[in-house]
Amino acid sequence: MKIISDPQEMQTAAQELRRAGKSIGFVPTMGFLHAGHLSLMNIAREKADVVVVSIFVNPAQFGPNEDFATYPRDFERDEQLCRDAGVDLLFYPAPAAMYLPDHSVWIDEEKLSGGLCGAARPGHFRGVCTVVAKLMNIVLPDCMVMGEKDAQQLRIIRRMVRDLNFPVEIISGATVRAADGLALSSRNRYLSAKERAEAVCLSRALNRAQALVESGEYRVSQLEAVIWAEIEKTSGSIDYIEFVDDETLEPVDVVEKPVLAALAVCFSGARLIDHTVLKSIQFSGTAGAD
Annotated catalytic residues are 37
SS3 content of the chain, % helix, strand, coil (to 5): 40, 20, 40
Number of Cβ atoms within 10 Å of the Cβ of 14? 23
CA–CA dist 37, 81 (Å, integer): 10
Q: Which residues, other chains included, contact 15 with Cβ-Cβ below 8 Å and sequence gap of 6+?
A: 140
Give the chain's length.
290
Let me know: does 187 contact 195? Beta carbons within 8 Å.
no
CA–CA dist 262, 150 (Å, integer): 10
CA–CA dist 288, 290 (Å, integer): 6
Torsion of CA 239, 241, 242, 243, to 10 degrees: 170
Spell out where the chain has E strands.
2-4, 24-29, 50-55, 89-91, 143-147, 169-173, 237-245, 259-266, 271-278
CA–CA dist 242, 223 (Å, integer): 10
